[in-house]
DNA sequence: CTCCACTAACTATCGGCATAGATAGTTAGT
DNA sequence: ACTAACTATCTATGCCGATAGTTAGTGGAG
């Protein structure tokens, strides 16, 4: 149900087509929320049906057509209501931690590779999210600048602060995951012997 | 697809019925992985069909019957294969962080309440996971002890170490989430004024 | 002896999301 | 004029998981 609000958040800044939104989810915004186009188009239809959006047919080339969606007052209201609503947390279900509990079944190299992949996965995320923070601080964030253009100047620092806060949380999580996986690698060394030492 | 392996992990320790497994997921094991019974029963059938389990009809009272599932060699092999397989990470999709990015839309008390709820949610998890670690260290973990009874003594420390490692990761994550939400609460104080101070 | 909580198992429906594929128009380079 | 890459939209299938409801037997408390 969050896809709907991720879409509203983007469309609040400016009207877009389904394809525009898909591109956003594929790039920068996708580091916080992702969705495939096959999910976006039907959801936009449903949102229009529910009165949160209005679609406007726009010419594209000579014969082409595209549908640009504008947020309605009801849409803005729905978004505001969502932001003010307590969300319910799903039950615990994390494949990597489940697997970690049974790593004694794995052979040591495989365990090592998987923890190494964990480090690399969150390492890549970490860099992306840190980059976002730098863009926010440096005022070079395209998305943020367009958003800021729609709010009065004295609210700018506030808007930017929450964006930064979001990425701070994501980087903290990534760092925590990396630290955990590194501890796991050390644990493997202790239990099975350090492969570096064995080579010497 | 992880449910299958969560079930295999539990059934590797001892044969159980669907209901037993459901109880496990409702209590201790549920802090790492959860599943409703409506998912468990059909999955057990499928696993039996795939040759990973064999079900045995057991008398229960005078007329009652229950089905106890045993892991087959193929089941153990499938589990080992899973533990050795690199898992693929899903795309980013976290409702709370998405919402955090738009907290300027929320009214301050609501934002405060939601961050407070975030602290409390992970606070509760933190206590549960820390308890698990203490149970492991103190040798009072029922689940772990039954598991240890199935492996040779010289592997005991290894098995326990991975269980502990899992919960360490979960507690670290919980602590990170709590610290983040607390930073959010402080940010709200800075942006909107500290409600404590206003009362004085 | 009856009531109730618990044990045991199963079914149905629905939304979210992944994966894949279909269709058509556009734009820019060769 | 051709072709590749991109824009734009939509459909189909299927798994995973949440929620809710059904049926039937067990065992203990009052």
Chain A positions touching B169 (Cβ under 8 A) are: 97, 100, 177, 180
Kindly determine whether residue B165 and residue A159, on different chains, have CB atoms separated by under 8 Å: no
Asked whether residue A105 carries a pLDDT value surpassing 90, the answer given is: yes
Q: What is the pLDDT of residue B61?
A: 82
Kindly determine whether residue B30 and residue A92, on different chains, have CB atoms separated by under 8 Å: yes
Looking at CA atoms only, how far is residue B96 from chain A in angstroms?
8
* Backbone φ and ψ of B151, nearest 5°: -125, 155
**Other C-beta atoms lying within 10 Å of the C-beta of residue B136:** 19
Q: What is the pLDDT of residue A187?
A: 97
Kindly determine whether residue B101 and residue A166, on different chains, have CB atoms separated by under 8 Å: yes
Q: What angle do CA B100, B128, B142 make, to 5 degrees?
A: 150
Closest nucleotide C1' to the C-alpha of A43? C16
Q: What is the pLDDT of residue B45?
A: 94
- Out of B33, B82, B103, closest to residue A92 by CB: B33
Asked if A56 is an interface residue toward chain B (Cβ–Cβ < 8 A), one would say no
B182 contact to strand C (CB, 7 A limit): no
Q: What is the pLDDT of residue A41?
A: 96
Chain A positions touching B158 (Cβ under 8 A) are: 104, 191
Closest residue (CA to C1') to nucleotide C21 in the complex = A38
Nucleotides of D under 7 A from a protein CB: 7-12, 15-21, 24-27
Nucleotides of C under 7 A from a protein CB: 7-13, 15-21, 24-27
**Alpha carbons B157 and B88: distance in angstroms, whole number:** 29
CB B4 within 8 A of CB B40: no
Q: What is the pLDDT of residue B60?
A: 84
- pTM over the 0.85 mark: yes
Count of alpha carbons within 13 angstroms of residue B46, beta-carbon side:
11
With CA atoms as reference, report the closest residue to B192 among B123, B119, B115, B94: B115
Digit-coded pLDDT (tens) for A156-180 = 999 999 999 999 999 999 999 999 9
Average pLDDT over residues A98-108: 96
Residue in A closest to B96 by C-alpha: A87
Q: What is the pLDDT of residue B69?
A: 97
pLDDT in tens, chain B (200 residues): 899 999 999 999 999 999 999 999 998 889 999 999 999 999 999 999 999 999 999 988 888 889 999 999 999 999 999 999 999 999 999 999 999 999 999 999 999 999 999 999 999 999 999 999 999 999 999 889 999 999 999 999 999 999 999 999 999 999 999 999 999 999 999 999 877 766 65
B interface test, pick of A99, A114, A117 with most B CB neighbours within 10 Å: A99
CA of A143 to C1' of D10 (A): 28
- Out of A5, A98, A114, closest to residue B6 by CB: A98
What is the 3 state secondary structure string of chain B? CHHHHHHHHHHHHCCEEHHHHHHHHHCHHHHCECCCHHHHHHHHHHHHHCCCEEEEEEEECCCEEEEEEEECHHHHHHHHHHHCCCCCCCCCECHHHHHHCCHHHCCHHHHHHHHHHHHHHHHHHHHHHHHHHHHHHHCCCHHHHHHHCCCCHHHHHHHHHHHHHHHHHHHHHHHHHHHHHHHHHHHHHHHHCCHHHHHC
Kindly determine whether residue A32 and residue B97, on different chains, have CB atoms separated by under 8 Å: yes
Asked if A161 is an interface residue toward chain B (Cβ–Cβ < 8 A), one would say yes
Asked whether residue A83 carries a pLDDT value surpassing 80, the answer given is: yes
């Amino acid at each position: 149900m969050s896809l709907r609000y991720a879409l509203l958040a983007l469309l609040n800044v400016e009207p877009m087509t389904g394809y525009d939104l898909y591109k956003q989810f594929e790039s920068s915004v996708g580091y916080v929320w992702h969705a495939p186009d096959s999910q976006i188009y039907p959801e936009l239809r449903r949102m229009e049906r529910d009165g949160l959006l209005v679609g406007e047919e726009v010419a594209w080339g000579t014969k082409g057509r595209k549908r640009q969606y504008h947020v309605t007052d009801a849409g803005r209201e729905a978004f505001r209501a969502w932001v003010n609503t307590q969300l319910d947390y799903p039950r615990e279900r994390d494949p990597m931690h489940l697997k970690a509990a049974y790593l004694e079944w794995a052979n040591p190299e495989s365990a090592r590779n998987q923890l190494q992949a964990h480090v690399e996965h969150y390492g890549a995320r970490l860099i992306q999210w840190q980059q976002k923070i730098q863009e926010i601080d440096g005022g070079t964030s395209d998305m943020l600048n367009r958003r800021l253009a729609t709010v009065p100047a004295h609210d700018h620092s506030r808007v930017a602060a929450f964006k930064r806060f979001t990425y701070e949380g994501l980087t903290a999580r990534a760092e925590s995951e990396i630290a955990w996986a590194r501890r796991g690698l050390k644990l493997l060394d202790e239990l099975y012997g350090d492969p570096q030492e064995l080579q010497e």
